[in-house]
Amino acid sequence: MKKTSNEAYYSLYCKWQESGKSKTAFAASVGIPKATFYYWYKKFDTDSVTTASPSPFSIIPMDHITAIPVARISYPSGISVELFGVVDVVTVRELVG
């Protein structure tokens, strides 16, 4: 079985993006197994940086901080978030929503 280089698979990945075909149809058209193309697709797709998607994190300004938490949000996963100082409704909505 012939081994193909990363560059060759990256070239195929770029051609697939331009083709508009599904991954399965493209793999069949170039004669490689679907599973092989999916492997390389996943590898190259995670390597690319997407700047268009928003960050899952929110910046919370920390103006006034007190020593005692004024609110605690406990998530079902076991994570707890304690809020110190002045807490506004928008901040709580971002954390709960």
Residue range 46-97, pLDDT digits in tens: 765 555 567 777 777 766 666 777 788 888 888 888 887 777 788 788 878 7
Dihedral of alpha carbons 53, 43, 33, 18, sign: positive
* Per-residue pLDDT at 27: 92
- Give the chain's mean pLDDT: 81
Instruction: Assess whether 42 and 66 both reside in one domain.
Output: no
Position 54 in a domain: no
Mean pLDDT confidence for 5-34: 90
H or E element that contains 70? strand 69-74
* Residue at 25 is within a domain: yes
The answer to the question of residue 78 being in a domain is yes
Position 56 in a domain:
no
- Contact between 31 and 15 under an 8 Å Cβ cutoff? The reply is no
Residue 53 lies in a domain: no
User: Could you tell me the residue range of the domain that residue 25 belongs to?
Assistant: 6-47
Q: What is the pLDDT of residue 1?
A: 42
Q: Is residue 66 domain-shared with residue 42, that is, in the same domain? A: no
- Residue 15 reports pLDDT greater than 50: yes
Number of domains making up the chain: 2
Determine which helix (DSSP H) or strand (DSSP E) holds 29, and give its type and residue range.
helix 23-30
Confirm whether 84 is domain-assigned: yes
Domain-embedded: residue 76 = yes
Q: Tell me the residue ranges of DSSP E strands in the chain.
A: 69-74, 80-84
Dihedral angle sign, alpha carbons of residues 63, 67, 72, 75: positive
Local structure of 21: helix, strand or coil: coil
Q: Indicate if 10 and 43 belong to the same structural domain.
A: yes
Same-domain check for residues 68 and 92:
yes
User: What pTM was computed for the model?
Assistant: 0.45
- DSSP-based three-state secondary structure for 71: strand
